[in-house]
């Protein structure tokens, strides 16, 4: 099977996924990543700060923002995934990246529901905090795979000839 490597560089829909060489997915993932990392910081701070309930509420809503941001990033990322030829190493990497991110998003949605059920009356309980740590560790692996897709396989990144123009004298 001979796959066209240029196929993975072209969007299914430039209006939805971003123009050639400027995909929207890497921009959108900063919202859930930032919100979820901040929520973990709030979780930890709730165990040492003077007003743990306020920090626990903040972490709860940061998780919600992260889940909503992840859904937006996943929608655009799925369009990028559709451009990758099936049966290629890039496709398999993309499938694993997609699966891990889906698992992370579900874990944080469960984390949000768990926290809502328990309430935010004090420091974040150890169970939801541990779930956040595991989900963020998984997100780190998935982020590495996303970087591999962009930087190693060049998915949705300019082709080599276009990239070379930036280095001509």
Measured in residues, the chain has a length of 169
CA–CA distance, 53 with 55 (Å, rounded to integer): 5
CA–CA distance, 152 with 86 (Å, rounded to integer): 17
pLDDT score recorded for residue 118: 92
Q: 27 Cβ partners below 8 Å, 6+ apart? A: 18
- State mean pLDDT over 102-112: 98
**pTM to 2 decimals?**
0.87
Name the one residue in this structure whose structure tokens are 């300019």. 158
More confident of the two residues 70 and 18: 70
CA 131 to chain centre: 17
- Banded pLDDT at 169 (limits 50, 70, 90): confident
pLDDT score recorded for residue 8: 60
pLDDT digits (tens, 9 = 90+) for 52-91: 999 999 999 999 999 999 999 999 999 999 989 999 999 9
- Banded pLDDT at 93 (limits 50, 70, 90): very high
Residue 33: name the closest of 81, 65, 59 by CA.
Answer: 65
- State mean pLDDT over 118-124: 90
pLDDT digits (tens, 9 = 90+) for 145-165: 999 998 888 888 867 777 677
């Amino acid at each position: 099977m001979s796959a066209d490597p240029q196929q993975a560089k072209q969007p299914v829909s430039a209006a939805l996924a971003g123009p050639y060489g400027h995909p929207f997915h890497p921009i959108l993932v900063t919202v859930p990543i930032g919100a979820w990392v901040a929520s973990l910081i709030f979780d930890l701070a709730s165990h040492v700060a003077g007003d743990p309930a306020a920090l626990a509420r903040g972490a709860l809503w940061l998780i919600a923002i992260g889940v909503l941001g992840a859904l937006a990033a996943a929608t655009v990322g799925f369009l990028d995934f559709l451009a990758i030829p099936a049966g290629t190493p890039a496709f398999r990497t993309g499938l694993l990246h997609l699966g891990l991110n889906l698992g992370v998003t579900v874990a944080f949605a469960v984390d949000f529901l768990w926290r809502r059920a328990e309430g935010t009356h004090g420091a974040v309980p150890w169970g939801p905090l541990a779930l956040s740590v595991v989900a963020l560790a998984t997100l780190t692996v998935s982020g590495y795979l996303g970087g591999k897709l962009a930087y190693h396989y060049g998915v949705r990144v300019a082709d080599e000839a276009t990239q070379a123009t930036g280095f001509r004298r």
